[in-house]
A = this chain, B = another copy of it.
Amino acid sequence: MPAVQHMKWYGWGVEGVSFHHEDKPGLRPFVLEIIDLDLDTPPGRQTQLSDLDIPTPLIGDELLGRLRAVVGDENAVSEDEDRVVHTYGKSIRDLMRLRGNDLPRVPDVVVYPADEAEVQQVVDAAIAADAVLIPFGGGSNIAGSLQAPEAETRPVISLDLGRLTRVLDVDEEAGLARIQAGALGPDLEEQLNARGWTLGHFPDSFTHSTLGGWVATRSSGMQSDKYGDIADITRGLRMVMPGRVLVLRGLPSTSSGPSVREMVLGSEGRLGVITEVTVQVHRIPEERVILGYLFPSFEAGVAAMQEISTSDASPSVTRVSDAGETRFSFSTRKKSKGVSVSGLVSKGLFKVLERRGWDLDAVCLSFVGYEGGPEHVARQKAIVKKIIGKHGGIGLGKGPGELYDQKKFDTPYIRDFLLDRGAAADVSETAAPWSQLVPMYDNVTAAARKAFAQIGVQGWVMCHLSHSYHSGACLYFTFAFRHDDQEPLARYDVVKSAIQQAFIDTHGTLSHHHGVGTEHAPWLEQDISAAGVQMMEGLFAGVDPGRNLNPGKITVTPLTSRA
């Protein structure tokens, strides 16, 4: 097997890394309160690989032989664990299905091509044999973009880009780097940093997702306010298509008709296999700081972020948690190790706020990030401080931001910890105009609560605003409930669907940065209208008339057939 490290087949992250709550004394009472789950509950029995009913590979010797001839025997793998790892992404649905031994269609072979030429041969072999080809990056997808259709009778090939990990070239004058699509976040940042550059793209999945995956699903990162979403960052790319390579050179801008670059962005493998991306890179900034703030209400925080977005300031991070997420953040603070939220958001501070008349249950934690030269950072901070003050907010200094920066990639581990104890926790996010964000917040939380009531659970929903644009922002909701293994997926679907529908009904999109996949496909037509779906379908059909390229993603699958 090639030296490509994968996440655990049954959960997030690599073996040996997991969440524990013992050093966070506030978390257990908080979780007990919000979803009636005791974190000291021992985990349920862990499903073993040997428990799974893994179907026999449905692939003929001829195709298998052809693939082995292309990539070498050791890089065309049909072992159980590798096939299972490549069956799903890491959504809560994926994990529930895995743990529930629900694997109707597992890839028949996983191939690890060494370079673009081998990718081309694999693609062409797949088309020639009428096989299905699913590109695979870090496997962190949570939109159902990686699974084969359940009823797929053709051979299914998972094409893992894990050997294409190099920064090929940095144009130091233009700030453009050519990077292979299979590079994981830390890997490409390390290579860039060594030359004094950064991509500046830090999605929550950063440690386990790839550049190609970011492009294929329209990812955004924590500092996207400054560096742009991956669509802005991507200036050119190479994509292997049946019998040909799409070559888009790295360009700052162009008026060459409908944007082919923007057709590949978000295409989730339906148009081909992205092998290389030309990205904007930046010099590592002189200063980088994230400051914490508190607002008396979520509405005040949203209003402040809106005003910042139209001000002369251009921060790198804008984020406001609602009261619930703020309480969650405080509950995860460690006992007393150096700088922490506990040290800064002290009982003393809360007394001051109380005297000012704040409703302490409504307090909202906010982060704003700044990058650049010292003068620039100082001036940005001053502008933001004034705006935040105008909206009743107060500054907390650097402590909370540093903590946030350290903890930012941990959340998926908490989800897995809860899942081990019979609780579902998941996220759903949207983007909408500023004018819709408060109604969106109200409607989505109401919809979630109604759904919790419908399925008879004590549920929890919390939210933050992030990714401010001129005309709006992203609202990111996290929800959780204890299902006690009683129809977990069906009940999850009720909540997830209610939230997604509230997005659309409140002038939001189906997802700001998680893509469509199969998970959000039922809302695509309501998002971009039937005519928009037809345009996409025409594009896909033109490139892939045989539906060999990751079929069933983006434009199909009604919700009813999935549960």
Q: Which residues does A use to contact B, with CB under 8 Å?
A: 171-176, 217-220, 229, 231, 235, 239, 241, 244-268, 271, 280, 282-283, 306, 310, 312, 314, 372-373, 375-376, 379, 431-436, 467, 469-474, 507-516, 520, 524, 527-532, 534-539, 541-543, 554-555
Contacts and interface: CB of A to CB of B under 8 A. Distances in A.
B173 A306 contact: yes
A542 B537 contact: yes
Given A263-B259, A471-B235, A251 B433 contact: yes
A271 B247 CA distance: 24
Contacts of A536: 257-258, 260
B376 A471 contact: no
A253 B469 contact: yes
A173 B251 contact: no
Contacts of A516: 255-257
B252 A173 contact: no
B251 A310 contact: no
> A-B pairs with the 5 shortest C-beta distances?
A538-B542, A262-B262, A252-B472, A174-B433, A218-B255
A226 to B, nearest CB: 11
Nearest to A532: B260
7 contacts: A173-B433, A176-B471, A247-B531, A251-B433, A251-B471, A255-B511, A258-B263
A471 B542 contact: no
Contact of A539 (B258, B265, B467): B258
Contacts of A376: 312
A150 to B, nearest CB: 21
A535 B271 CA distance: 9
A473 B312 contact: no
B312 A529 contact: no
Given A244-B531, A257-B267, A259-B265, A176 B433 contact: yes
Contacts of A244: 530-531, 534
A265 B254 contact: no
Contact of A263 (B235, B263, B472): B263
Given A246-B531, A258-B266, A312-B376, 6 more contacts: A171-B433, A257-B267, A258-B267, A375-B379, A379-B379, A535-B539
Contact of A251 (B252, B255, B432): B432
A438 to B, nearest CB: 10
How many protomers of this protein does the assembly include?
2
Contact of A280 (B250, B253, B254, B471): B471
A30 to B, nearest CB: 31
Contact of A217 (B255, B532, B537, B538): B255
Nearest to A520: B256
B554 A257 contact: yes
A266 to B, nearest CB: 5
A171 B432 CA distance: 12
A529 B247 contact: yes
Interface centre among A379, A474, A516, A532 (most CB of B within 10 A): A532
A527 to B, nearest CB: 5
A154 to B, nearest CB: 22
Contacts of A529: 245-248
Contacts of A241: 531
Contact of A174 (B256, B472, B532): B472
Nearest to A312: B376
A499 to B, nearest CB: 16
Contacts of A527: 254, 256
A502 B255 CA distance: 17
Given A174-B471, A280-B470, A535-B271, A511 B256 contact: yes
Contacts of A528: 246-248, 256, 260
A334 to B, nearest CB: 34
A515 B256 CA distance: 6
Contacts of A231: 259
B531 A245 contact: yes
Interface centre among A173, A271, A513, A541 (most CB of B within 10 A): A173
Contacts of A235: 471
Nearest to A533: B260
Contacts of A539: 258, 263, 535, 538-539, 542
Contacts of A229: 253
Contact of A256 (B257, B259, B263, B266): B266
Contacts of A310: 175, 282-283
A263 B528 CA distance: 12
B531 A535 contact: no
A173 B543 CA distance: 41
Interface centre among A176, A241, A312 (most CB of B within 10 A): A312
Contacts of A524: 256-257
B252 A433 contact: yes
A175 B258 contact: no
A434 B266 contact: no
A257 B515 contact: yes
A175 B470 CA distance: 7
A87 B531 CA distance: 30
A312 B373 contact: yes
Contacts of A509: 251, 253-256
